[in-house]
Amino acid sequence: MLEGKVALVTGASRGIGRAIAIELAKAGAEVIINYLGSEEKAREVKATIEGLGKKAHLARFDVANPQEVTAVIKELETRIGPIHILVNNAGITRDTLFLRMKLEDWEAVLRTNLFSAFYVTQAVLPLMLKARWGRIINISSVVAFTGNPGQVNYAAAKAGLIGFTKALALEVASRNITVNAIAPGYIETDMTEKLPEKVKEAFLQEIPLKRAGLPEEVAHLVLFLASDQASYITGAVFHINGGLYRG
């Protein structure tokens, strides 16, 4: 399905990013695994992909550092070739109530969760435009639509990705490049595993399907949007949350 395509997944060493990288590789894409601090986990993802008989590359860079992003992506394109599929998945949380939120926590989340999409997309877009083919998929969140106490920074960043997606989709559609967003709800990852049990139970009570989602379920949707089967879909937001939000 994706043979001959190169895919870059940011924040691909664990959780949703890991599942996406593996799913795209299964479909034939040559996958670039971006990570920052989790080298061991990133190497595990690479080994998993190579165990499937597919190609994978490690790319350590801070998505929140524009100079680093530009330099590494230029090197990757020189060594591997143009990037056809970009999944902006990297994200962090710095949760606290708004009145207690420090400026550095606000800025860190905005840089990693929103500014990074600008940096990475702007770096890979020129060769997509030249090739007249590309898939850009931004991983937002249900909290972009519902809000969540203690996550003003995270919700603002993820909501920003929605506007980013819709505007960019209009700019690049004539070059056969699609730009879409996915807004996952409560998904079983390292990040959600750290939540107190009472918080997890409260989440599950609010979900009509009464269960958490799996990273692989998000990855299946990414694969569809990256494929030619989704060639007439752009500027769209897909909710995958078990019915938690139905907008």
Ligand-binding site membership of 102 (annotated): no
Amino acid letter for position 42:
A
Ligand-binding site membership of 158 (annotated): yes
The residue annotated as part of the active site, out of 35, 119, 154, 186, is 154
Ligand-binding site membership of 14 (annotated): yes
Distance between CA atoms of residues 160 and 155, nearest Å:
8
Q: Which burial class, exposed, middle or buried, applies to 57 when counting CB atoms under 10 A from its CB (0-12, 13-18, 19+)?
A: middle
How many residues are there in the chain? 247
Ligand-binding site membership of 246 (annotated): no
Ligand-binding site membership of 89 (annotated): yes
Amino acid letter for position 178:
T
> Does the annotation count 35 as an active-site position?
no
Angle between helices 152-172 and 116-131 (to 10 degrees): 20
Ligand-binding site membership of 202 (annotated): no
Ligand-binding site membership of 176 (annotated): no
Ligand-binding site membership of 25 (annotated): no
What DSSP assignment string belongs to the chain? --TT-EEEETT-SSHHHHHHHHHHHHTT-EEEEEESS-HHHHHHHHHHHHHTT--EEEEE--TT-HHHHHHHHHHHHHHT----EEEE---------GGG--HHHHHHHHIIIIIHHHHHHHHHHHHHHHHT-EEEEEE--THHHH--TT-HHHHHHHHHHHHHHHHHHHHHGGGTEEEEEEEE-SB-SHHHHTS-HHHHHHHHHH-TT-S-B-HHHHHHHHHHHHSGGGTT--S-EEEESTTS---
Residue ranges for the known binding site are: 11-14, 89, 154-158, 187
Active site residues: 154
Residue ranges of the annotated binding site for NADP(+) are 11-14, 89, 154-158, 187
